[in-house]
Structure 1
Amino acid sequence: MSLRDAIDNFYEPLVAEAIEETREASDSQDYLEDVMCVALNRLPAKYYRHSVDMMFYLADGELETMKKNSLTAVKTAREFVKSHQRD
């Protein structure tokens, strides 16, 4: 296992969940991948090695705040990607 495989960003699954919540039938895989990249770039990195540790150290209400921030970032990213698509 490489070092890269041992570290994860806590926002990645939260952003993926927000994308699923806002998914539209016409969304292509490429579009959604672009949305995920843009959304993650707008959020702070929150790296961890073990998800159990991450959950233990989150302050009360921090997870809900992170979920709301992820949804906001995804909505903003969707608009950004739509307005910057190449024809």
Structure 2
Amino acid sequence: MRISDDIHNYYENLVVAQFQQLKLEDNYDDDFIADLTCVVLNQLPTRYIRHEVDMSFYLPASERFEMESKVKIAINKALEFMKNNHIK
């Protein structure tokens, strides 16, 4: 068995979407965003998928809301951590 490039953690998409909504790229450079992404994703559970459409079709709205809430909390914690540790 070979792990395909198609397999990814669904939370990655949620994190990127939230970063875009918060316009973090307007305030931070690429290195900061990359570090922030790692800190955020390390706080979240993994949810591996092959096809985005599978999650869109089968994920109940309540579960998606919960996942999005976890992402927002993780981003806030990660920003606070990076601020307190002077990571720029």
TM over 0.5: yes
Gaps of 5+ in 2: none
Shift >6 Å, 4+ stretches:
none
More displaced, 74-83 or 20-29?
Answer: 20-29
1:86–1:14 Cα change, 3 Å: closer
1:34–1:86 Cα change, 3 Å: closer
Residue in 2 aligned with 1:37? 38
TM-score by length of 1: 0.81
Amino-acid identity (%): 37
CA distance in 2, matches of 1:58, 1:15: 17
Which residue identity is paired with 1:77? A
TM-score by length of 2: 0.81
Tell me the secondary structure at the aligned position of residue 16 of structure 1.
helix
Q: Report the number of matched residues.
A: 86
Gaps of 5+ in 1: none
CA distance in 1, matches of 2:17, 2:6: 22
Deviation at 1:4, TM superposition (A): 4.3
CA distance in 2, matches of 1:68, 1:24: 21
